[in-house]
Chains A and B, each alone.
Chain A
Amino acid sequence: MNERPSNEEPVYPHVRLETRDIDDFSYVTAEIGSLRHSGVTRDHTRLIGLKKRGVAGHPLVYSDSYSGMRDDLYIYARHRVSQKDFFSRLDSFLEATLAKFPELTGKPLLFSFQVNGEFVDAELSLPLLSNIELPLEQIDFARLSINVGDIAVEFNSAPVISSEETAFTQRGALRRKLESPLFGFDASRSDVWASFLAEIHWASELISKKILHTLIRSTATVKA
């Protein structure tokens, strides 16, 4: 489902914009500071593709930093994988990554799966694909709690795609509506998940993994 902009659509005004390049790839960094809702202060950053066909006007990466009791940073983007593909790739990623964190080796992985609105908690070991007891296609949402940074993923039957984000930035605004399905990670302590997101990212067949990885990591520090 491709979401076209309308004049009535809710937006964030007063966006700071800066055009940047990595090698020959151009993108715009859009940043809004100090959004206040329900007692929470949030800074939002969004990278939007420019020029390149299939990518121009599309949001590439979102990030939010929250200030308050905890200074949290979350990075997220739309992914392109099914449940089976996701957990298969996660198996490979965790197998390689956990070896670098001896304190995590051999410990169960704490998952929350959501099926039909209900959460089911599970302690799993690798490989996930053979240890998850739920039918994979019924999983609507999953979260892994792990001390290198939690991850969350949602699965949709029909993706929500936003292809005209520059129509908003040209008016100095950002559309509030996010793409989906999303994968996100807690980047407050580490950006170890950036390469995994680059692998499952919706544009991973359009942009080199190296550039995507750099873009994702940059949202942890970028200030337009």
Chain B
Amino acid sequence: MWSQKVKAKAKHFKGVEIETRVIDNNSLETITAVKPQGAYGHSVEIGKFRAMWPVTLKIGSALKDTKQLAFREAGTSGQDATAWEWEVNLFPDRIAGEEKRLLICASPKMRKRDAIMVRIDGGGCGEDLLLKVPIE
């Protein structure tokens, strides 16, 4: 069966490509589904900024709850979170890079799929991206 990779790309931000993905923690490849008891990554990646002016972006990622998927700060065993934020300054000809959070899939399987809502604001523009995450 053909499966879609869990990724989405912004369409409205000018001069830059912004992509969000759910990734395998080891290979860093975009995955198509997560499994209970698995640890993955949620990433937001911003390419080279090709405009001649600066832009500040605020990127918020949110889950509706932590019953199945949860964010966790990498390298910590701290509390699960439903949201994380990244504020980033884009400057001409610079690459803003990538920001990641650990994405934990709890056991047992409670849903067929979960969703990560990503909101991007900045430069007079706003856009919502939705990552639908199938649970195997």
A residues bordering B, Cβ < 8 Å? 37-38, 40, 42, 62, 64, 66, 72, 74-76, 112, 114, 116-119, 140-141, 143, 150-152, 154, 160, 176-178, 180, 182, 184-186
Q: Give A65 to B10 CA distance when docked, in angstroms.
A: 29
Contact A141 B53 (CB under 8 A): no
Q: Which of B15, B50, B53, B92 counts the most chain A CB atoms within 10 A?
A: B53
Least distance between B85 CB and chain A CB atoms (Å): 15
B residues bordering A, Cβ < 8 Å? 9-15, 17-18, 50-54, 56, 88-89, 91-94, 123-124
Count of inter-chain pairs, beta carbons less than 8 A: 77
Contacts of B50 in A (CB 8 A): 112, 119, 141, 143, 152
Name A116's closest neighbour in chain B (CB-CB): B11
Contact B11 A182 (CB under 8 A): no
Q: Can you name 25 A-B residue pairings with CB atoms under 8 Å? A: A38-B89, A62-B53, A64-B53, A74-B53, A112-B50, A114-B14, A114-B15, A117-B9, A117-B10, A117-B13, A118-B9, A141-B50, A143-B15, A143-B50, A143-B51, A152-B15, A152-B51, A152-B52, A154-B15, A178-B123, A182-B51, A182-B53, A184-B51, A184-B53, A185-B52
Q: Give A137 to B124 CA distance when docked, in angstroms.
A: 20
Contacts of A177 in B (CB 8 A): 124
Contacts of A75 in B (CB 8 A): 52
Q: Which of A37, A62, A118, A119 interacts with B89 by CB under 8 Å?
A: A37
Supplied contacts A152-B52, A186-B92, 15 more A-B pairs, CB within 8 Å: A37-B91, A40-B91, A72-B93, A114-B14, A117-B9, A117-B10, A118-B9, A118-B17, A141-B50, A152-B15, A152-B51, A176-B56, A182-B51, A182-B53, A184-B92
Q: Which of B10, B14, B92 interacts with A141 by CB under 8 Å?
A: B14
Contact A40 B92 (CB under 8 A): no
Q: Give A42 to B56 CA distance when docked, in angstroms.
A: 14
Contact A64 B51 (CB under 8 A): no
Least distance between A120 CB and chain B CB atoms (Å): 12
Least distance between A111 CB and chain B CB atoms (Å): 11
Contacts of A160 in B (CB 8 A): 124
Name B89's closest neighbour in chain A (CB-CB): A37
Q: Which of B17, B52, B56, B88 interacts with A76 by CB under 8 Å?
A: B52
Contact B12 A117 (CB under 8 A): yes
Q: Give A38 to B49 CA distance when docked, in angstroms.
A: 14
Contact A74 B92 (CB under 8 A): yes
Least distance between A187 CB and chain B CB atoms (Å): 9
Contact B54 A154 (CB under 8 A): no
Name A182's closest neighbour in chain B (CB-CB): B53
Q: Give A184 to B50 CA distance when docked, in angstroms.
A: 11
Q: Give A184 to B54 CA distance when docked, in angstroms.
A: 11
Contact B51 A40 (CB under 8 A): no
Q: Give A74 to B53 CA distance when docked, in angstroms.
A: 7
Least distance between B101 CB and chain A CB atoms (Å): 19
Least distance between A175 CB and chain B CB atoms (Å): 12
Q: Give A66 to B53 CA distance when docked, in angstroms.
A: 11
Contacts of A154 in B (CB 8 A): 14-15, 51
Q: Which of B10, B15, B52, B88 interacts with A38 by CB under 8 Å?
A: B88
Least distance between A190 CB and chain B CB atoms (Å): 14
Contacts of B15 in A (CB 8 A): 114, 141, 143, 152, 154
Contacts of B12 in A (CB 8 A): 117, 140
